[in-house]
Amino acid sequence: MSAVGAVFSCFCLRSGVWLLKPGMQKMSSFSLHTAARCAARDYYEVLVLGGGAGGIAMSARMKRRVGAENVAVVEPSKTHYYQPLWTLVGAGAKHLAASARPMGSVIPSGVAWIKSQVVALDPDNNSVWLENDTRVFYKYLIIALGISLHYEKIKGLPEGFNHPKIGSNYSAQTVEKTWRALQDFKEGNAIFTFPNTPVKCAGAPQKIMYLSDAYLRKTGKRSKANIMFNTSLGAIFAVKKYADALLEIIKDRNLAVNYKCNLIEVRADKQEAVFENLDKPGVTEVYQYEMLHVTPPMGPPAVLINSPVSDANGWVDVDKETLQHKTYPNVFGIGDCTNLPTSKTAAAVAAQSGVLDKTVSLIMNKKFPVTKYDGYTSCPLVTGYNKVILAEFDYNAQPLETFPIDQSKERRTMYHMKADMMPLLYWNALLKGYWGGPAPVRKLMHLSLK
Ligand SMILES: Cc1cc2nc3c(=O)[nH]c(=O)nc-3n(C[C@H](O)[C@H](O)[C@H](O)COP(=O)(O)OP(=O)(O)OC[C@H]3O[C@@H](n4cnc5c(N)ncnc54)[C@H](O)[C@@H]3O)c2cc1C
Ligand SMILES: *[C@@H]1O[C@H](CO)[C@@H](O)[C@H](O)[C@H]1NC(C)=O
Ligand SMILES: *[C@@H]1O[C@H](CO)[C@@H](O)[C@H](O)[C@H]1NC(C)=O
Ligand SMILES: *[C@@H]1O[C@H](CO)[C@@H](O)[C@H](O)[C@H]1NC(C)=O
Ligand SMILES: *[C@H]1O[C@H](CO)[C@@H](O)[C@H](O)[C@H]1NC(C)=O
């Protein structure tokens, strides 16, 4: 084949064909991009950034829409984690290994895996830049980069994790340390923190406290422990129905909750935690701990900060109902990296994946997106070794419960849902692009009782 032929076979459509919404003037006139190199593929019809919950679910769905050979995922990590399991790891309930699978095994077969980090987005040219200074072009882009953890924003961390008595269930590196700190507990303060930033799974920081309380009771050490939840927030939970139920539990179990206080420093060699009082700037308090569980400050991935696709805070700027980007109609966002005003969870990703699949398909067929995401999210609040309050709610912080029972009651059935059923649903349905959230089940459950 001649050089000219090779070049021609790499033509990719750059822009000009998208459906424009009123006010969307971003797309320039029709133009063509000629790829310089054809050896490594540098164009995919659908490019997915991130191989987490949202990225893998969308790759599977896009493979069904356009064929595996037209889809690629950019993801540097060799391992895919089912993060919700981390709350249960260690408590003897689950092992860390149970939450991990090789990335290659979850990427749908035939879909290209580009093993690199994305270092810049260039939506005006329908391309992204990789670590080695090469570009990949796309017709449609799906951004699913998750949320970044920032332990380093707390003075004394992450080095502090080299000392005992401190752990964090939020990262695979420190999750097993939490369990060790709990087993070593002798006497004193057990402190659980919540940062002054958006977080993923806002219930996890307190789930860990309830499990610790249960463990200390089981081992006869509870009377020696002063358990406190020092949170940056002004309330225990965003939805009143569940907040009321949690406050009851907190009272019954003699747990102390302190609002508006934010962990700013850890002196791990002396087992001291320093908090600032968010209502009184400059006022700090130092606490000695026998065990400290840190929920780190979080924020958008670095590549999104000041990127053309992000809002002023660094989150991907999408329409909250269709998940289409507000200015680039061929760009879409899903999951923790977006500015969707709902609680960041895998359950929310599931509901979003069903909506986004329909949005993208309509755009591909030059139609307007119509399916609407209602903000559905869910947080199984583990309140003991076999008890769960299954919080489910929408954009208006209104409960949106799947089962026709009062889910604000602690229930054993819901624990089995969380510990045993959800992982199956995650690996076999969500990641394979077959689980779009519980809405159909909810309708069925509620209907069947009417
Ligand atoms: C302790 C804990 C408990 C939780 N409990 C629950 C629960 O009970 N229920 C629930 O529904 N959810 C829970 N969650 C939240 C849930 O895990 C997340 O909301 C979900 O994984 C979000 O999916 P995502 O695709 O947006 O991001 P992720 O799954 O985090 O995936 C993001 C991916 O992007 C990749 N990436 C990042 N930067 C780049 C880059 N520059 N280039 C290329 N790739 C990049 C990352 O490597 C990662 O693979 C919990 C989370 C934690 C940590
Ligand atoms: C750059 O990295 C990507 C992903 O690892 C790879 O496919 C590509 O061949 C690399 N390009 C060059 C020029 O090294
Ligand atoms: C990318 O697009 C911008 C604006 O459309 C243009 O000015 C610039 O030259 C393009 N850059 C590359 C490398 O193609
Ligand atoms: C943190 O918790 C302790 C113990 O319950 C409480 O006395 C203290 O006031 C809290 N810290 C802040 C900064 O509020
Ligand atoms: C997280 O912490 C709690 C208590 O602190 C513990 O019961 C749970 O097992 C921990 N998970 C891990 C993975 O360490």
Q: What is the DSSP string of 22-36?
A: TT---S-SSEEEE-S
- Mean pLDDT, rounded, for 213-235: 95
Distance 262 CA to ligand 2 centre (A): 43
Strand 148-149 with 135-143, pairing = unpaired
Helix (H, G, I), strand (E, B) or coil at 264: strand
Q: Residues lining ligand 4, judged by CB closer than 6 Å? A: 228, 230, 256, 258, 261, 275, 277, 285
For the residues of 376-414, what is the DSSP string, one character each? Answer: -EEEEEEEETTEEEEEEE-TTS-B--SSSS-TTS-BHHH
Protein residue whose Cα sits closest to atom 27 of ligand 1: 146
Among 84-93, 95-104, 300-309, 331-340, the range scoring the smallest mean pLDDT is 84-93
pTM: 0.88
pLDDT number for residue 119: 98
Q: Which of 151, 192, 293, 345 to mutate to test the pocket of ligand 1 (most atoms within 8 A of CB)?
A: 345
Closest ligand 1 atom, residue 169 Cα: 1
Q: Which of 85, 88, 184, 191 to mutate to test the pocket of ligand 5 (most atoms within 8 A of CB)?
A: 88
* Paired tokens of 342: 């709902």
pLDDT number for residue 31: 34
Q: What are the structural domains of the chain? A: 3-88+100-148+300-364 (3.50.50.60), 149-299 (3.50.50.60), 377-449 (no CATH)
- Mean pLDDT, rounded, for 231-259: 95
Distance 113 CA to ligand 2 centre (A): 11
State the ligand closest to the CA atom of 83: 1
Q: Is the CB of 204 under 6 A from ligand 5?
A: no
Name the range with the highest mean pLDDT among 9-13, 82-86, 304-308, 389-393. 304-308
Q: Is the CB of 36 under 6 A from ligand 2?
A: no
- Mean pLDDT, rounded, for 164-192: 84
Confidence bin at 417 (pLDDT 50/70/90): confident
Distance 132 CA to ligand 2 centre (A): 6
Protein residue whose Cα sits closest to atom 13 of ligand 5: 89
Where in the sequence numbering do the catalytic residues fall? 201, 379
Q: Is the CB of 124 under 6 A from ligand 3?
A: yes
For the chain, what percent of residues have pLDDT higher than 90? 68
* Paired tokens of 412: 């054993």
**pLDDT tens figures, 253-265:** 999 999 999 999 9
Distance 78 CA to ligand 4 centre (A): 41
Q: Which of 125, 126, 127, 128 to mutate to test the pocket of ligand 3 (most atoms within 8 A of CB)?
A: 125
State the first-to-last Cα distance of the chain, in angstroms, to the nearest integer. 68
State the DSSP code for 21.
Answer: P
pLDDT number for residue 13: 38
Q: Is the CB of 204 under 6 A from ligand 1?
A: yes
Protein residue whose Cα sits closest to atom 9 of ligand 5: 91
Among 196-205, 279-288, 412-421, the range scoring the smallest mean pLDDT is 412-421
Per the model's pLDDT, the better-predicted residue between 68 and 37 turns out to be: 68
d(CA 67, CA 353): 18
The values of phi and psi at residue 238, to 5°, are -70, -25
pLDDT number for residue 121: 98
Ramachandran region, residue 397 (left: φ > 0; alpha: ψ -120 to 50; beta: rest): left
Per the model's pLDDT, the better-predicted residue between 41 and 432 turns out to be: 432
- Mean pLDDT, rounded, for 265-285: 96
Q: Which of 114, 134, 135, 136 to mutate to test the pocket of ligand 2 (most atoms within 8 A of CB)?
A: 134
**Res 304 pLDDT > 80:** yes
- Mention every residue, 6+ apart, whose C-beta is less than 8 A from residue 217: none
Distance 241 CA to ligand 5 centre (A): 26
Among 183-187, 264-268, 293-297, 384-388, the range scoring the smallest mean pLDDT is 384-388
- Mean pLDDT, rounded, for 432-445: 84
Distance 151 CA to ligand 4 centre (A): 21
Amino acid at 273: A
Distance 185 CA to ligand 5 centre (A): 13
Q: Is the CB of 85 under 6 A from ligand 5?
A: no
Q: Is the CB of 116 under 6 A from ligand 2?
A: yes
For the chain, what percent of residues have pLDDT higher than 70? 87
**pLDDT tens figures, 80-128:** 999 988 877 655 567 888 899 999 999 999 999 999 999 999 999 999 9
Name the range with the highest mean pLDDT among 10-24, 60-74, 199-213. 60-74
Residue 299 to residues 196, 337, 342, 358: CA-CA distances in angstroms?
A: 11, 9, 15, 28
> What value does the mean pLDDT of the chain take?
87
- Mean pLDDT, rounded, for 14-20: 35
Alpha-carbon torsion angle 54, 353, 204, 232, nearest 10: 90
Q: Which of 32, 30, 41, 31 is nearest to 6 (CA)?
A: 41
Per the model's pLDDT, the better-predicted residue between 26 and 200 turns out to be: 200
Closest ligand 4 atom, residue 259 Cα: 14
pLDDT number for residue 1: 33
Measure the CA angle with vertex 10, ends 8 and 14; round to 5°: 105
pLDDT number for residue 204: 85
Q: Is the CB of 136 under 6 A from ligand 2?
A: no
Confidence bin at 29 (pLDDT 50/70/90): very low
Q: Over the range 348-364, which residues count as b (16 or more CB within 10 Å of their CB) and which as e?
A: bbbbbbbbbbbbbbbbb
**pLDDT tens figures, 389-406:** 999 999 999 999 988 888
